[in-house]
Amino acid sequence: MAWNPGQKLQNGKYTIEKVLGQGGFGITYLVKNKKGNLLVVKTLNSWVQRWCDFAKLQQDFLNEALRLSKFNHPHIVKIDEVVQEAGLWCIVMEYIDGESLASHVWNQGILPETEALRYIQQIGDALTVVHERGLLHRDVKPLNIMLRKGKTEAVLIDFGIAREFTPNLTQTQTEFCSSGFAPIEQYDWRGKRGAYRTHLTSYGA
């Protein structure tokens, strides 16, 4: 069940403002804390909550949230805390005032070369850090890159299907991927993960 605007979380610490978006696994809310600051809360959506292996998915979600909370990089969304609400693990993260790279390109058209190269460098730096921590984002695309309002800063968001990386290991993949941006092995549920290949394919796309 989705939470409604005005609903309180964490004994009144956060108040739901609205739903920001919903994907294959998660649902994201805009919330306000007691100081009036806007933040984002992400948790598993009601569809996933009905799955028979929900307990395992929630544990995976928690493990990934805890790993992501250790990142401190200007081009990776900052995690404020990981909390449990009504039996659901939630990631509380910074709210980025701005627009997605996809929206920016749609509205502005082709980016000037200097601007495009700046964003490529910034997201490349972020992905290097992600990979060094043994994680794969697995959903790098313009919709998951936010541009801070009034700045030329790109921020990688939505690590909803991030997974640990073990080179050349054949493991079951999730069935969710972004067509046109996902690497070919991600379409195969038994695909092998090669070093950097997953990120390079999406990064280049």
* Integer Rg of the chain from CA: 17
What amino acid is encoded at 115 in this protein? E
Residue in 53, 97, 139, 188 annotated catalytic? 139
| Rounded average pLDDT over 95-109 | 95
pLDDT at 199: 44
- The answer, yes or no, to whether residue 189 has pLDDT greater than 50, is no
Is 34 annotated as contributing to ligand binding?
A: no
pLDDT per residue over 24-48, tens digit each? 788 999 999 999 999 999 999 999 8
DSSP 172: P
- Rounded CA separation 150/152 (Å): 7
Residue 11 Ramachandran class (φ > 0 left, ψ -120 to 50 alpha, else beta): left
Query: In 10 A of CB 95, how many CB atoms?
Result: 18
53 catalytic residue (yes or no): no
- Rounded CA separation 164/34 (Å): 35
pTM: 0.77
Residue 75: partners with Cβ closer than 8 Å, 6 or more residues away? 122, 123, 125, 126, 153, 154, 155, 156
